[in-house]
Amino acid sequence: MVIAIIVIVVVVLLIAFWLIGGYNGLVRARNAFKNAFAQIDVQLQRRFDLIPNLVETAKAYMAHERETLEAVTAARSAAMAGLSAAQAKPGDPAAMKQLAESQGTLTAALSRFTAVAEAYPDLKASQNMMQLSEELTSTENKVAFSRQAYNDAVMTYNNKRETFPTSVVAGMFHFEPAAQWEIAPDKPETREAPKVQF
């Protein structure tokens, strides 16, 4: 009788430790992908801060290209809204889709801006424009690296969430799947950072 009680207590303790370990592992993985998203947030905010300076610098040279400049400004606003939606729910499939689409639109607008700016030698030679372009290119690279780190963290979290025996804990405590930041296949121009060089 005493041995049966000891066995039952040991089994209950093992189950409790397994639940605690599984739960804590899922929480760590979820926090890791949220932290990875926060790094994307930092880089995108830097990108958003650089764009108005780029547009203002170009305005003096590209007075009759107002449409292009307005498109970049509008795309920046939409991208900021997409980021806000994703900040509220990092990993949420709908929010991540909105983020990817709005960032794709901004990337396309910046690419068009760069193509138009190529026709202005004075703008290309401007020290301020060259510095802004270099900073924006560097930021684009950091966004790409941050996106990769985020997607890796989401994959780790989703793997923990979906594999047995942790999937049991995930189901018990309602750990929802996280969405990666995927680039739409119908928007090949967003697969690469825009080439911002003058």
List the domains of the chain with CATH numbers: 2-190 (1.20.1440.20)
**Preceding peptide of 177 cis, ω within 30°:** no
pLDDT (tens digit per residue) in 185-196: 555 444 454 444
pLDDT (tens digit per residue) in 51-81: 998 888 888 777 778 888 889 999 999 999 9
Do residues 157 and 28 lie in contact, with contact meaning Cβ atoms separated by under 8 Å?
Answer: no
CA distance 145 to 127: 27
Q: Residue for token digits 């750990």?
A: 175
Do residues 50 and 77 lie in contact, with contact meaning Cβ atoms separated by under 8 Å?
Answer: no
Q: 81 by DSSP, 3-state: which?
A: helix
Please measure the distance between the N-terminal and C-terminal CA atoms of the chain and give it in whole angstroms.
84
Q: Is the pLDDT of residue 169 over 80?
A: yes
For residue 198, the model assigns a pLDDT of: 42
Q: Is the pLDDT of residue 197 over 50?
A: no
Q: Is the pLDDT of residue 48 over 80?
A: yes
Query: How far from chain centre, in Å, is Cα 115?
Result: 26
Do residues 133 and 58 lie in contact, with contact meaning Cβ atoms separated by under 8 Å?
Answer: no
Q: How many percent of the chain have pLDDT more than 70? A: 92
Quote the strand ranges of 33-76, DSSP E.
none
Name the residue with higher pLDDT: 69 or 13.
Answer: 13
Tokens, residue 97: 């889709």
Q: Give Cα separations from 180 to 11, 45, 69, 80, 84 (angstroms).
A: 38, 19, 31, 18, 16
Residue burial 148-157, b: 16+ Cβ < 10 Å; e: rest: ebbbebbebb
For residue 154, the model assigns a pLDDT of: 95
Q: DSSP class of residue 191?
A: S
For residue 189, the model assigns a pLDDT of: 46
Average pLDDT across the chain, whole number: 87
pLDDT (tens digit per residue) in 116-133: 888 888 777 778 888 888
The pTM score is: 0.78
